[in-house]
Structure formats: structure tokens, C-alpha cells
Structure 1
């Protein structure tokens, strides 16, 4: 059983400073000479990138909604292999979740699954003795939670700190440290997303160093480390990409994964240190036999030599759409690759790169659609059903993904949509071998995507409707792609157990039609009806 000293940093709600404290803990512990690992609970790419930068190794995302609760422990054991301590940053409040269903994943759910102690960061600026009632309530709410201590933030004075400590001492909860007002630097630049980390900006290096110094001066690191070491060994083996691919093939009754003789070049958006997506994507493609070559859409003007397929993960923030538009040489190369029939998987801003225009700026013109920034954010999970056979999924395959975007595409879907969900409204675009959507997937929850992609890139064809069974048999895969204990609930949208109807032929790719007058994009009413959309994205950290 892997022995991973670990703790979870959480808070009563967003805005208490937990992400800054988690980054500071990693930086401070690393400065002591310890090997550290950082992970983010939930889908947030930005926090995971900063936690990884502070730890000195790739940050991971532990999201039961996207990968299944059963994969959380193995993914942590894999990402923290050899580390002296792992620090996990929570999402929102300890018991909050972006989903409203009973099995939705909160920070508390993950902490319980990992049997990890929880350190609660509390903004005490406007609080006195009431902090005792607050923390006691969080501790008593769930008997399975191991609330091991509190770190106070924004304390006003020495007298204020004494009052807070006495209140927590009365309920038997230790105070591990106290940060006074102004001692903790401002939070991470969220609009810039993962880019400052990927580009090693001097501001990022300074911020992480300052957070580490602040935490080192105010927090008892010996007690924190002792708590992390008190966590029991994880009762699961570490995750590996090769094992995940083999298990997926075995569950489907398919032959073992055999890498192609010549490894096709799979270009993935990002930098050599950090791709604009989840780290497991690269690991799975490599294990499936692909040669991953990163390219930076913000700096490079050419795709990697001999690119056979392209992956545009969902971690590039929409704030960089003007830069994508301005990189005309690379935009043209991406569009040419798509029109040549090579596999292209695009998520989030990747889709926006392929539309005709965004906020009036020219984009890739692969799809005759326009995009415009709206005045509201769409955030939430989606149970999605595939509407075409692509490397992402067979026709009728079901997966859970995540959406976070402010830019709206009109029309919302193409002649062949990528997905349907909720009330059946289609979303995304499939054309030739391009699969583009604003829905982001975590490939650790659906490892077969990597095998399908490498196969399509290597032999120049798209596998059948379900490439793990007889080509074209059209069966919806049985296992829950999130790694759970059963099938993803929901109606069979194929209309029964009969054969899957043929997909309509792709429209011929000729000259792009004239641009229609720019109008306000499709309203977001269909998003309002989705039961999994419950929060705005004020602060997901």
C-alpha cells in the first residue's frame, strides 16, 4: 500500500485564502528540503498549475465527478509517488459541490475517501468567539471528517488572535498558525489561468516565494507535517496509464493495447513543462503509443513536424482568445490540419479557435459559427451523450464533463453535434475527424480516448462506432467511464436496443459562406435548465 503523507486544506467558503495557504505550505515545506506534491480537488486547471509549480512537479486534479471516486486514491498515489508530503487544495467550502446530486463530489467527500486530515483556513477578520461555533459546526456536521486544525487568516491584532485561539481551545481544535491582515499576498491571477505558470513568469515565481515566506513565518510547519504523516497508507495501488488502458480493454473484452510500430506525433497545446489540460492526458497518449510533442498556441507559429493528430485541451483561458486570433500562421496550420482529415480534439477555447470569428476577431474558420463574450459565466458538470463516432467516444457513449466559459457560440452545434445532455439540446461540432466542444473531459475517467486517438492518427482511419468491439456494431459501452460501480444513469437516446442509425454524411468542405451579420449569440436559457449548474464562477478556489 502506498504511504503518502497528506492533508487537505479547506475553508468554510470561497474567499478565505485556502488556495494561497495551500500554495504557501508547499513552497515552505519544499524550502525545508522536503519533496512535495500538490493536487487540486475539483476540475480547476489554474489552482492545480500553481500547486504544481509550488511543489516542483505537475499538479493533479482529483475530481470524483470526472474520474470516479475509485480513481481518486490511485491518482494521488501516482502523482505523489516518492513525495515526503502531499498538500491538496479544496474547492469552495468544505461541504460544497458544483453538483446537486447525492453523489456529487465535495472536498469533504475526497478527504473522507483518502482518509486525510483536514486543515481549515478561516478568514477571521470580522469574527471573535463565534469562530468556535463555526468550526465546531463544521467538525460535527460529518463524523467521518477528520478536522485536524485551523489556520487563522486576516487576524487584526495580537489581542484578536488571543480571543480566537481561546475560542478554538474551548472546543479542542488546535490552531496551527495565524496570518495577520496583509501578511498573505494577494491571490493568484485567475484570469490568466495556467499561462503564467507554463511560461515561468517572474510574477509567478515571486508570488509563490512570498506565499511560502508568509506561511513559514506564521504557521507551525512541524505540526502540519506531523498531521500529514499521521494519515494511514492508501489502501489502493498507484494509478498508471498503461494499467488504465489495459483495464479498459479487458472490461470491454477487447485485445490488449498494442502500440503502433511507428509512434504517430500527437501535438498537444501547452509547453514542455505544462500542457493546457490535465497531466494524465499526455501520460495516456504516451502509453497508447503516441509521441506527444507540445506546442504553444501563444508563441509558436508552426505545428510540430509530422503532426498526425492535434489535442487542444480545455485549460487555456478565454482571456487569450485575442492572442490566438493574432497568431495567424499557426491558426492557418491548425485549420489546414483539420481540413486534411487529421484527428483534432478541441475543448473549451480550442473550439473557439476553430470558429469563424470571436468578438469580431477572425479565428480558424473551420466551423461556420461566431462566438461572443456574454455577461455571465456558465459553470457546471454535464452528463453527455456522444452524437457521433469519434476518437473521443463511440456513437451513444456517455461521459461526464465540465463546463466553464463566458464566451457563447452561435449556432451552439453543427450539422453533426458532439454531444447532447439535459433537455436534449445539442452542443459542439463534429466534422470529418474534428471533435470540438466547450465540454472538458478528464481522460483518466475515459482512458480509451487515448487509444482511439493514437489508432486514428497511426492508420489514417477512424475506428468503428465502438472500436473496442466489432467495427460498427454501435453498442454503447457498458462500464461507467468515471470508474464508478455501475452505468451512467439516463435514458438510452438511441431509442431502444436496435441498431444505431447511420450518421448523416458530413457536409462537403467548400468555400466558407458569406459572413452573416454579427448578432448576439444563442441565449443561455438551455443552460439554466441543467440541474448540475448551481454556481457562478466567482471563485472556484
Structure 2
């Protein structure tokens, strides 16, 4: 299968790859190019910028949490027929797990997907060192295919002097540059960029960025390089086929928290649930007064409840609606920020306490540093909605808070061997800090949807374990 594709990779975090990716997407979208954006790794926020710009969901591709076969399937499934599939890398190009070199890195993903790479270099304060960097990145692995570079934070006169020299020394074309643009600011907080819904003048910033990219980056050469990508074979993984056969069925109503507070969802998770029969009904814990009616399941993903803690705690009718739902023992999935929202209280860094849903007798407090973070392998310690004893699920944690009780239904083990207990789980409840990409183990989605369907059809939740 021929899919024109490129990866925008960086020499390190903060080099400008997110800004360049956003600008390229906007500039090409203005020209009518049919785009499908992707983000390497588990990041939730960068894909929201992609989606805002091109008007379709961006997708995550993670080579640690998913098998190579699943990564290829998801890429081809979502990118077939587009003019350009553009993948934004994660961290520095070769940065992965320290104890498993290249694992989970942008470089590994580019090899799995046979994708040509454009390297983004922050050229501020450099001249021919740019050439040395390009040659170093090209030479570290014979398997990667770096086909070009873009310089960030470089003014036009310097770029014009560097371009012929760098190209002669490396054999790699410089596609363009981005000069310093102090009025373009994609602001950050502890979990990464501020989300698109929180930036008032985002569209104006994106328009300026697109105009600059159109002027200073050779977009036609970029498209031509994308067309040089080789054919990519894929098939539907057997574990996905089995999960779809087992989990699919009649429509089932599942409420999903979606607003500027709770928006950390993998689009492919939602699509897989929908494919299995879930009718996802969005609601806002911040703005709405009660849950959608006649729900057979509830899904509250991650986000920033600590930022909106006062407003959430003041929406007492919604707190009561969620608390009442929790008392019904119907299926309830809550990840990270959603887990916090189900708790009794949240204490911020100023020691001010806010009251939340009290579905779980758990208290939360904000921390100054990451409490537990990174990739983990979850292993179920007992039977429950998402797993049975010994069932393994790859996931990740990333949070600046902790709780009085993180649960003990799963053991969580990092690749370096560090471990802890995690997640509250019953036949109908899954609540904890880990984020789970369902395509890492598709039967997880099947168990969730099938449990909701059993409840809707009047069966006990453990009905699915006998079917």
C-alpha cells in the first residue's frame, strides 16, 4: 500500500517540532491538501492541536505500548487515501527507554512504518554545527531514513548562507527555516502544552504561523519527499479480530466526559468502542447539571481537574448526578483526572481543599513533581471489568498528584523494574491513574463494552465472563 508520509522529528524536546508540525499542517490545509496527522507516543495534547488545525482527529502511534503489527494496522487504517500522513515525533529522534535503546522512540516508529524523516533543528547560535548534527543523526542507525531538515529560530540571511554549505556536507536538503516569532506562543503547564480550547487567539497565531511556513519552507519539496515513501504492508491483527467478534453487539449507551477539563482520550479508543456498539454520549462535568439519561456505562478520562477544581466543586448538581450513578454499580471507567474527580476531596498546592463526587472514599493532593510517570505493564491481580488474574496490559502514568488510596487491583511495573500497586477494580468499576490505549490489548475495550451491554440487557455484570 502506497501512503505518502513523513515524520517531523526533533533533535530534542523544545527544538520546535510541535510548532513546525502545526505550521506545516496549517499551511498545507490552506492549500487543500488532504492530511492525516499522527503523534508518536502517548501524548494527549499535541494531537488536539493537530485536530483543531485540520478538522479531523489526530491519532497516536506508540511503539512501546503496541506491537509493530498493530502500529502498522492503525497507521494504514487511518491514513489510506490521504495526500499526506504527517507524524509528529516525540522528544528527540532517538530518545526512548534508557534500558531498551531506541524502544518507544521516534526512530523506532519511523523504521516500523518505513517513513522518511524531516529533522527539526534549533539553529539558534549555530552555523556549520548544523551539518554535524545532521550527519550524526543520519549515521547513528543505518535503518533510519532522514531525507531533509528544517532549521528553527534562524533568520533568512543566515539560512541562505548555511543552506548550500550544509547540503554539500550532508547530501540532505534543507527544506526551509522558521525565524524567531515571539508573538507565536503555544503555552505550557506541567503536563505539556495548554490545550487548544484554552488559547483565546489560537486561530490568529496558527494563521501567522501558516503564512510564515508558506513563505520560508519548500512545501512542494516536502510533498515530493513524502511520495518517496515505500509501499507498506499490513494486516488486521488476530487479537483485534477476536476482540471485535467477542465484544461487538447491539448499541449501548455510554456517557463520556468531554469538555475543557476532561479531554485526554485516544481517538482510536473511542473509535474501537464505537465499532463494538458503544453510543458515546458526551457531557460536561463543568457546564452540565446532570448526566445523560438511561446510561449503561460512564467513561471519565484524564484532564486538568486541578485547574478547574473550584468550578467543578461548585457544580453540585453534577457531582450529585455522578455520585448517584456510582451508587447504582453500573459500569464506570475513570482514568487519571477522571479518577480524581470520583474522589472525595482534592487539595491544591496552596492547601485549599475542594469537594468532588465522593464515589470513592479517596482524597487527592497536588504534588510539586511527577509522582509516578512513564510506561508501565499492568498485571491484574483479580477478576474485574477490564481484566482477570494474570492479564497484562501496557499503559502509562503521568501526573502531578497523588491519592490516599491508589488501589491494588493491578501491579504496575516500569521497564526499569520499579513497581507499585494501582487501580480500584470491581466487576463494574475501573478507576486509577494509568491511561490505557485499548489497541495495546483490544480485549480490554471488549470487556468494557460487553459489561455495559450486559447491564443494559438486564444481566449481572459477571455475565460476560461466562459468555
Structure 1 and Structure 2 fold alike (TM over 0.5) = yes
Q: 1:187 to 1:275 in 2, by over 3 A?
A: closer
Q: Distance in 2 between matches of 1:271 and 1:382?
A: 27
Once the two structures are TM-superposed, the CA of residue 258 in structure 1 deviates from its matched residue by 6.5
What SS class does the counterpart of residue 64 from structure 1 fall into? coil
**1:479 aligns to what?**
none
Q: Distance in 2 between matches of 1:357 and 1:364?
A: 8
CA contact (8 A) 1:390 1:462 kept: no
CA contact (8 A) 2:385 2:426 kept: no
Q: Which structure has more RCO (C-alpha within 8 Å, separation ≥ 6)?
A: 1
CA contact (8 A) 2:9 2:117 kept: yes
**2:421 aligns to what?**
426
**1:455 aligns to what?**
450
Once the two structures are TM-superposed, the CA of residue 379 in structure 1 deviates from its matched residue by 2.4
Instruction: State which drifts further: 217-226 or 153-162.
Output: 153-162
**2:211 aligns to what?**
213
Once the two structures are TM-superposed, the CA of residue 420 in structure 1 deviates from its matched residue by 4.0
Superposed CA deviations along residues 251-307 of structure 1, whole A, max 9, x for unmatched, are xxxxx336444x2211122269x9530111221212222211122223222211111
Once the two structures are TM-superposed, the CA of residue 144 in structure 1 deviates from its matched residue by 1.0
Q: Distance in 1 between matches of 2:288 and 2:411?
A: 31
Higher relative strand content:
2
What SS class does the counterpart of residue 462 from structure 2 fall into? coil
Once the two structures are TM-superposed, the CA of residue 374 in structure 1 deviates from its matched residue by 0.8
**1:116 aligns to what?**
115
In the alignment, which of 348, 354, 361 is matched to residue 354 of structure 2?
A: 361
In the alignment, which of 307, 311, 315 is matched to residue 319 of structure 1?
A: 307
CA contact (8 A) 1:125 1:156 kept: no
Q: 1:144 to 1:193 in 2, by over 3 A?
A: closer
CA RMSD of superposed structures (Å): 2.6
Kindly tell me the number of residue pairs found equivalent between the two proteins.
Answer: 453
Q: Distance in 2 between matches of 1:173 and 1:151?
A: 11
Q: TM-score, normalised by structure 2?
A: 0.89
Question: Where do 5+ consecutive residues of structure 2 fail to align?
Answer: 348-352
Q: Distance in 2 between matches of 1:319 and 1:18?
A: 27
Q: TM-score, normalised by structure 1?
A: 0.78
In the alignment, which of 249, 257, 262 is matched to residue 246 of structure 2?
A: 257
**1:371 aligns to what?**
364
Q: 1:83 to 1:298 in 2, by over 3 A?
A: farther
In the alignment, which of 387, 394, 397 is matched to residue 400 of structure 1?
A: 394
Question: Where do 5+ consecutive residues of structure 1 fail to align?
Answer: 250-255, 472-541
What SS class does the counterpart of residue 53 from structure 1 fall into? helix
What SS class does the counterpart of residue 167 from structure 1 fall into? helix
CA contact (8 A) 1:128 1:164 kept: no
Q: 1:130 to 1:193 in 2, by over 3 A?
A: closer
Write the mapping of 1:508-527 to structure 2, written as runs, cut at 5 A.
none
CA contact (8 A) 1:112 1:144 kept: yes
1:148 counterpart = 2:147? yes
Q: Distance in 2 between matches of 1:418 and 1:343?
A: 18
**1:225 aligns to what?**
223
What SS class does the counterpart of residue 104 from structure 1 fall into? coil
Q: Distance in 2 between matches of 1:354 and 1:150?
A: 46
Q: 1:196 to 1:187 in 2, by over 3 A?
A: closer
Write the mapping of 1:266-305 to structure 2, written as runs, cut at 5 A.
266-270=254-258, 276-305=264-293
